[in-house]
A and B are shown apart, each in its own frame.
Chain A
Amino acid sequence: ETGVTQSPTHLIKTRGQQVTLRCSSQSGHNTVSWYQQALGQGPQFIFQYYREEENGRGNFPPRFSGLQFPNYSSELNVNALELDDSALYLCASSLQRTSGINEQFFGPGTRLTVL
């Protein structure tokens, strides 16, 4: 069983640029969530995708957007990068259930630095 993988591991961009981060879900999972973890903080929910549609969104501006593909992998796109976007971006996959909690399995993250 393959776990959650993310690419790239590290990325350096300059202010105003655009970035795409990628995530491959754990086998059998149909839901992907993205989180931003700033230095010294806990992860903050950006959004979740289920069956290729956005299924919920946190308090992030529209320049943060995403996609989920038929194979359940996902992309996070950030336009017009700002210095405060520098953070660890975590992807988590889960299997949507009708009851109980959906245990989320996290990837190792992508460290984004905006200069």
Chain B
Amino acid sequence: DQQVKQNSPSLSVQEGRISILNCDYTNSMFDYFLWYKKYPAEGPTFLISISSIKDKNEDGRFTVFLNKSAKHLSLHIVPSQPGDSAVYFCAAISGTSYGKLTFGQGTILTVHP
């Protein structure tokens, strides 16, 4: 049972344009949602998070939007840079889950110069 889903395995974007990565979830008990970025041969690194009581969180070029009624969140990267090319994982956590992160399958983002 995949509780967090990223339905797009890959995304290709031109440098300077917007990248939009999407994520859907099924578990209403999730309290926080996080985005991680992963480069080859490195562990995932935390990018940005959002609490379930908010609908938007912004940090520099990165903005996460949460639509609770649709159980959908998205990560916007503006403007996209070649260094953003990586695998992006959406993850969710609930307050009762002792810190267990539930991850999506990941989306490979490629930003072309």
B43 to A107, Cβ gap below 8 A?
yes
Q: Which residue of A40, A42, A94, A108 contacts B41 across the interface (Cβ within 8 Å)?
A: A108
What is the interface residue range for chain B against chain A?
A: 20 to 34
Q: Is A7 an interface residue (CB 8 A)?
A: no
Q: Of B43, B49, B98, which is within 8 A of A90 by CB?
A: B43
- Report yes or no: B43 in contact with A56, Cβ–Cβ below 8 A: no
Inter-chain contact total with CB atoms closer than 8 Å:
65
Known: A104-B46, A106-B45, A109-B43. A42 touches B106 (CB 8 A): yes
A50 to B100, CA, bound (A): 12
Please name the residue on chain B nearest to A43 by beta carbon: B103
B49: chain A residues at CB < 8 Å are 101
Residues of B within 8 A of A (CB): 4, 6, 31-32, 34, 36, 41-46, 49, 89, 91, 93, 97-106
Residues of chain A touching chain B, judged by Cβ–Cβ distance below 8 Å, are 4, 31, 33, 35, 40-45, 48, 50, 55-56, 58, 90, 92, 94, 96, 101-109
